[in-house]
Structure formats: structure tokens, C-alpha cells
């Protein structure tokens, strides 16, 4: 008998209760609470409620979670999404994915996770990007039915019976396959879930069923006789399902999931030395966002420290990855944890820091200067600071310097998330009375503002000879983890070779003295209504990225790579517009004026989406995107050639960085490309292309958070 919903049974019980005797007054009846309304609504309703309610099938054993990458960290990923939105995450356990879908459609939750995609479900529900795929296997007991070998296709089953849950994804698949003669018998069970049917198979009560590989692995511990007989589906996509009436939640989740998939490498911990950095192919530099160190201008990363570490990465022949610490006091802890390999954030060398990290040779020398309002009476001596209030970050070298003066300065702890430039601005506005800044930071500020002035030099040494300029007393250097001698030697060699060379001096003049460059750097101080902008075309890029389920910041990185955000750009081969689409391709996609920003953006994003969908769906989403970007540059045929070559060279054909990209480089050589289906390709171009877009996207994610 089909099980009815609990609320239906409760209602039936109330109807069948005996009536009260007529001569007795009925006892007072307490009003029953109204049933909870369905949890329907989009992101604003969820935000007002303060909870994200997620329908989830039973979690697998942790030992099974490593098989599908990000898919099997769904709850952790959801917790991160909820945290960013200020929401409490509530997991509503369901017996199965099918039950989660039913509950979602009934309005009993905001989204359902680990949902197998089917055509019927895609017609009724909205889905975020697939998080992974799963194999589905025909399961039975070994025995006389297969005396010689296991079945090689569903045709080998004859008239045997396959029992699956009626609402499961595999029911739709098998219903379509029954057209293949001879027809097996498909039984749709209305009452039991997949685990219960598998138990019946193990007991010999049901001949066959179909299970996803992770569930089969888990149930095999309980029912060792269960045997995988035949793979009936190699790559069932799994994703997060939402009702169609939640477009804002869908958009937020799509962007978030793309970010997590494409930047998950930035969260990996690594504490190795230079050989490990070279093997990974990435130098991770921990820094902060400010006009001197690292900032974004017109879609491109800039900054004095950024320029130096980019040169260092080029010297080491690895990619540069910038890691933005959320506050100044986390720079060294993040380094020691392995979130980065190097700190480059105008970090002053101090004895207490030197006890924790290894510093390179200094690449800058500065003094610490008291910053005063321009209109206020000057502080004329260090002794005159007695009783005065100075705001500095507790983790800064300024805090240590002021305490060492021993004159009774009143120190106020500034927020560790604030940069020195922000504290200088607060002095200018009268929000705080005094602060301290490194001389190069203050020099930069004074090129464009006159509402503060340089006061006492708190660290400057007296000149050794009369008339000689005093030498700056504080050294700024790169910080590394202790126990990285090879990296230390490489960084010191780089500093020795580049300190005060032509490029160094040009960069120093550009970022500390050039009013034009400093004006660009000050673009980081944008008004609140303009925060989060990368280009003049952000709104259009957001619009069409949302349409095709991609992160707009990734598409902005692609557009910058293609055209530098110039809608009039035309390449030497005739590609046009912001996304440099060929006119013939544009025409196939339905666009006739690629120089029009809207048409050009729509065409480029639509084309990339088509390429992603043509890459093997078994690949993790981030790998499909990277392969698609390489195909956008060099053509899908060359990417497929590189994957085949990678497999022959014992590289991983499913991973771009360090694997397929190496094979792509080999396709430049005759002994490799003569056997390729699509022949020669200038492999260095797609390799550089994907690397630069990934790095730029990493930058955009850090500097323009959603």
C-alpha cells in the first residue's frame, strides 16, 4: 500500500474520533496551531527569515567523500555560502534525493542538494552548475543467471525484472532504455527507497536494481553479496535544485559555486620549499589591498609590491597567485598555516616578527612618521607626545615604536582591517587626532592631499656627518616560513639582482612620486555605490553571465584578456568586440554587430557556455571551464588532441594545469602534432591564455567579492 503523507493520516484520525455525548458539555478545545506555511520565497525572504533551509539526502561515509571532489563537501560549501550572507544553515535530512525533490516542490525547504539531474526535473526545477557526476550500476547477486560472465548490456537481461524507486532519476533512464529489445521488465516501486530495494536484492526477494556507485559502496559493507553487474550510466550529473520562483537565490548560488570551483586551489594549505612551489607551478603571495601594495585598476592588478613579486614569479617560471588576508594581523599566521609562500605587504622587519618568520634582504628602507592634521599645531618633540592619543593597529610596527618611546603616549587600537591610508584619511577628516605611517606611504598620500602633514620622524637616525641626509631606520622585506632555505636563497638572489635596478627605480617613481599613477591607485577608494566594479560593462557582463550560469567576474577576466575592455577591438584574424568573437561564429550564434557591447558580450559568453557543455561532463566543473577557455583561444579540436596526447604521456587528461597544458605545448613539435587529428597548434598561446585568465579571475574574486 502506498504510504500517505503524515498530515493526511492525522486528519483522518481526527475525523474518526467518536462524537461527545449530547447531554454533556464538550470540554474546551485548545486551538490547534496552524500548520507552518510552506517555506517559499526568494533570497530576500530567506534573508528576512535569517535561515537557509536545505533539503539533503543522507550523508555518505567520510571515506567515500574523496571520490567526487567538491561535490562531497557540499555541506561545508553551503555553510560558507550561508556565512557570507549572514544566514543560519539548517539541514533538513531526507530519506533520499527523490524525497528531497518532492519536499522542495512542496515548499518545505529553499533548495535540495545532491540531486541527480533528469530531463523531467530540469523542466520543473532550476539547477545550479553541476558539482560532479556519478556512475549508476545495475546491482544483483552473482549466481547461475550469469554462469560465464557478467552482462555486457541491458539486452543480456532478457525478461528479467529491474526494480527501482518510482520517483528516482534512474526510473526515467530505464524507461527510455526499454525500447531496446529484448525488453527487460521495469518495476517502479511506490513505497521503498533505493536502500530498501537493495536490501531486498541482497535477501533474494528482488532480482535486480540500480544504485549510484557511492551508495553501492556504502551498502556493500552491510550486504557483501551485492555485486555491480553492469554500468548503465557513466556520468549522471548531480547538482543543487531550486524552485523556479527563486531567481535571485539561483543567481547568487551560481556565482558562488563557480567561484568555489575555480578558486578552490587558493584554499589549499602548502608548507613546502621552492621545489614544491615549482612542482605546483604557483607562487602564492599573501598581501593586502591598498594603493602601495596591491590594487585593481581598469581590470588589471597593480601596486609596487605586486610588481616586484610578479617579477619574482617570472624569474622562478611559475604563476603568481595573490592571497588577500582579511586583516593585517593575519599576514604572518596565514603564512605559517601554509595559505601562502611569501608575504609581500610592506612588512617592516621587527625583532618579534623575526622570531616567527624568515625575512629576505630588505627591498625598501623607510622611517615611521607621525601624521598630523595640517591645520593643527605641530607636535615638536617626542616628549610632547606625552598624554596625546595616537591610533595605530596593535599588530603594526608603529605600536611597538610608540610604546618604546616611554613618554606616556595614549595608544588606541585601530581596526586590523584598516590600512594605514585609511587611518591617514581619518586624521584628515578629524575622526582621530594622530596616527603613524611609513614614510613611503605618507609620501604617496602627500602627492595628492594637503589636509595632513608629516610630523615627527619617530625612527630616523641622526646623520653621521653634518649636512648628510639621515638614513631610513626601518627595513621592509619579504617574509617566508622558517625551514624554506631554497626559497629564501632564491628570493634573496632576486632582491640582490633587482634592488635599485632600472625597473625597480621606475616602479618606485611610478607608485611613490607620480601623481598620475597615484591617482589611479586611489581608485581603490571608490564610493559605496561604485564598489565591486571592474569595467564600464559590468552590468551587461552580469546580465549574460547570469543567463548562462557563469560567474560574471570570470567573464570579465576573459573579456579583459581578449580586448582590454575595448568594444572596438579587432584582431589580426578579424575577431571583433569585447570578447573577440569571429564574425562567422557570431552569425551562427545570432549576432550581427559584435562591436556593439551588448551583442559582443552576449555572443562571447554564449559561445563559452557552448564550449563548456561540449567538454566531457565527467570532468569537474573547474576543469571543464579551463578546457573550454583553452578551446576559446585555440579551438576545441586542439584541446581534444592535447587530452589524448596527455593520456599517452601518462599525464592526467582530465586536469589542465600541469597536465593537458604540457601536452598542448608538445603539439608545437612535429613528432607530436603529425599524429594529432587537428595538427599543429601554437600551444604556448592557450597555455598562457588560461593561466592569465585564471590569475586575473583570482584577483577579481579577492578584490571584488560578491
CA-based nearest residue to 168, from 96, 251, 63: 96
CB within 8 A of 480, min separation 6: which ones?
335, 341, 342, 343, 357, 358, 359, 360, 487, 488, 491
Cβ atoms of 54 and 89 within 8 Å: the answer is: yes
C-alpha cell at 468: 648628510
Catalytic residue among 108, 372, 488, 562: 562
- Interaxial angle between packed helices 597-614 and 538-547, expressed in degrees from 0 to 180 and rounded to the nearest 10: 30
Inter-CA distances, 125 with 94, 245, 444, Å: 18, 9, 54
Cross-strand bridge partners of residue 71: none
Inter-CA distances, 567 with 559, 571, 604, 633, 701, Å: 10, 12, 12, 18, 23
Specify whether 468 is catalytic. Answer: no
295 sits in which H/E element: strand 295-297
Cβ atoms of 299 and 262 within 8 Å: the answer is: no
Measure the CA–CA gap between 80 and 83, rounded to whole angstroms: 5
Dihedral of alpha carbons 100, 104, 108, 110, sign:
positive
Residue with cell 567579492: 705
Tell me how long the chain is. 706
Measure the CA–CA gap between 175 and 533, rounded to whole angstroms: 49
Inter-CA distances, 5 with 53, 102, 198, 278, Å: 21, 12, 24, 59
Cβ atoms of 367 and 458 within 8 Å: the answer is: yes
Inter-CA distances, 248 with 82, 128, 253, 548, 627, Å: 14, 12, 9, 14, 29
CA-based nearest residue to 235, from 618, 653, 615: 618
Core vs surface per residue 36-73: b (16+ CB within 10 A) or e: eeebebbbeebbeeeebbbbbbeebeeeeeeebbbbbb
Cβ atoms of 111 and 120 within 8 Å: the answer is: no
Residue 111 phi/psi, 5-degree rounding, is -155, 160
Reduce the secondary structure of 548-616 to three states and give it as a string.
Answer: CCCCHHHHHHHHHHHHCCCCCCECCCCCECCCCECHHHHHHHCCCCCCCHHHHHHHHHHHHHHHHHHCC
93 sits in which H/E element: strand 88-93
CB within 8 A of 615, min separation 6: which ones?
623, 624, 627, 628, 631
Cβ atoms of 288 and 415 within 8 Å: the answer is: no
Residue 416 has what DSSP assignment?
Answer: T
Residue with cell 484520525: 13
Measure the CA–CA gap between 600 and 34, rounded to whole angstroms: 53
Beta strands (DSSP E) in 122-216 are 126-127, 132-140, 161-165, 185-189, 209-212
Measure the CA–CA gap between 145 and 143, rounded to whole angstroms: 6
Residues with active-site annotation: 562
Amino acid at each position: 500500500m502506498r504510504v500517505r503523507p503524515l498530515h493526511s493520516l492525522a486528519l483522518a484520525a481526527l475525523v474518526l474520533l467518536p462524537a461527545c455525548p449530547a447531554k454533556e458539555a464538550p470540554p474546551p478545545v485548545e486551538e490547534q496551531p496552524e500548520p507552518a506555511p510552506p517555506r517559499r520565497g526568494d533570497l530576500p525572504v530567506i534573508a528576512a527569515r535569517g535561515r537557509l533551509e536545505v533539503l539533503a539526502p543522507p550523508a555518505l561515509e567520510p571515506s567515500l567523500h574523496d571520490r567526487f571532489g567538491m561535490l562531497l563537501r557540499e555541506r561545508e560549501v553551503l555553510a560558507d555560502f550561508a556565512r557570507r550572507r549572514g544566514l543560519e544553515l539548517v539541514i533538513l535530512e531526507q530519506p533520499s534525493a527523490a524525497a528531497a525533490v518532492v519536499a522542495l516542490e512542496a515548499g518545505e525547504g529553499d533548495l535540495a542538494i545532491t540531486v541527480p539531474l533528469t530531463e523531467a526535473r530540469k523542466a520543473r526545477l532550476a539547477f545550479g552548475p553541476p558539482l560532479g557526476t556519478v556512475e549508476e550500476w545495475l546491482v544483483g547477486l552473482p549466481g547461475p543467471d550469469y554462469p560465464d560472465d557478467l552482462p555486457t548490456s541491458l539486452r543480456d537481461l532478457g525478461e528479467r525484472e529491474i526494480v527501482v524507486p518510482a520517483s528516482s532519476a534512474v526510473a526515467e533512464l530505464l524507461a527510455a532504455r526499454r525500447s531496446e529489445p529484448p525488453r527487460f521488465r521495469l518495476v517502479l516501486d511506490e513505497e521503498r527507497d533505493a536502500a530498501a530495494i537493495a536490501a531486498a536484492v541482497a535477501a533474494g526477494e528482488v532480482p535486480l536494481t540500480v544504485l549510484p556507485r557511492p551508495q553501492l559502496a556504502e551498502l556493500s559493507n552491510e550486504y557483501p553479496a551485492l555485486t555491480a553487474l553492469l554500468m548503465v550510466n557513466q556520468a549522471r550529473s548531480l547538482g543543487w535544485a531550486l524552485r523556479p520562483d527563486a531567481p535571485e537565490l539561483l543567481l547568487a548560488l551560481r556565482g558562488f559555486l563557480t567561484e568555489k570551483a575555480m578558486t578552490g586551489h587558493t584554499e589549499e594549505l602548502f608548507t613546502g620549499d621552492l621545489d614544491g612551489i615549482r612542482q605546483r607551478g604557483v607562487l602564492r603571495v599573501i598581501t593586502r589591498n591598498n594603493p602601495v601594495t596591491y590594487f585593481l585598476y581598469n581590470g588589471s592588478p597593480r601596486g609596487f609590491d605586486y610588481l616586484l613579486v610578479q617579477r619574482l614569479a617570472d624569474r622562478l617560471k611559475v604563476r603568481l597567485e595573490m592571497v588577500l588576508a582579511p586583516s593585517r594581523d593575519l599576514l604572518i599566521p596565514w603564512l605559517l598555516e601554509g595559505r601562502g609562500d611569501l608575504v609581500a605587504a610592506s612588512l617592516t622587519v621587527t625583532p618579534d616578527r623575526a622570531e616567527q618568520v624568515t625575512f629576505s634582504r630588505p627591498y625598501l628602507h623607510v622611517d615611521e612618521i607621525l601624521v598630523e592634521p595640517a591645520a593643527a599645531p605641530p607636535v615638536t618633540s617626542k616628549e610632547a607626545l606625552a598624554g596625546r592619543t595616537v591610533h595605530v593597529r596593535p599588530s603594526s610596527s608603529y605600536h611597538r615604536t610608540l610604546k618604546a618611546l616611554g613618554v606616556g603616549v595614549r595608544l588606541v587600537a585601530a581596526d586590523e582591517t584598516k590600512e594605514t591610508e585609511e587611518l591617514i584619511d581619518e586624521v584628515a577628516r578629524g575622526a582621530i587626532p594622530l596616527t603613524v605611517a611609513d614614510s613611503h606611504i605618507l609620501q604617496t598620500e602627500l602627492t595628492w592631499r594637503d589636509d595632513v602633514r608629516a610630523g615627527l620622524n619617530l625612527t630616523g637616525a641622526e646623520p653621521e656627518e653634518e649636512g648628510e641626509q639621515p638614513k631610513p631606520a626601518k627595513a621592509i622585506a619579504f617574509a617566508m616560513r622558517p625551514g624554506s632555505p631554497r626559497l629564501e636563497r632564491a628570493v634573496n638572489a632576486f632582491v640582490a639582482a633587482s634592488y635599485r635596478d632600472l625597473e625597480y627605480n621606475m616602479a618606485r617613481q611610478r607608485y611613490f612620486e607620480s601623481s598620475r599613477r597615484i591617482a589611479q591607485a586611489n581608485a581603490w577608494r571608490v564610493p559605496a555605490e561604485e564598489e565591486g566594479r571592474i569595467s564600464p560593462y559590468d552590468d551587461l557582463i552580469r546580465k549574460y553571465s547570469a543567463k548562462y550560469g557563469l560567474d560574471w567576474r570570470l567573464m570579465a577576466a576573459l573579456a579583459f584578456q581578449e580586448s582590454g575592455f575595448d568594444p572596438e577591438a579587432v584582431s589580426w584574424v578579424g575577431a571583433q568586440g569585447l570578447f573577440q568573437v569571429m564574425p562567422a561564429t557570431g552569425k551562427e550564434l545570432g549576432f550581427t554587430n559584435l562591436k556593439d557591447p551588448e551583442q559582443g558580450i552576449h555572443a562571447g559568453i554564449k559561445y563559452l557556455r557552448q564550449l563548456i557543455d561540449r567538454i566531457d561532463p565527467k570532468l569537474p566543473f573547474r576543469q571543464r571551464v579551463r578546457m573550454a577557455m583553452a578551446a576559446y583561444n585555440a579551438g576545441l579540436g586542439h584541446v581534444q588532441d592535447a587530452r589524448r596526447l596527455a593520456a599517452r604521456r601518462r599525464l592526467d587528461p582530465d586536469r589542465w594545469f600541469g597536465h593537458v597544458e604540457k601536452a598542448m605545448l608538445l603539439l608545437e613539435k612535429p613528432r607530436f602534432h603529425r599524429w594529432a587529428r587537428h595538427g599543429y597548434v601554437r600551444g604556448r598561446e592557450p597555455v598562457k591564455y588560461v593561466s592569465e585568465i585564471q590569475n586575473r579571475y583570482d584577483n577579481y574574486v579577492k578584490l571584488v567579492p560578491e
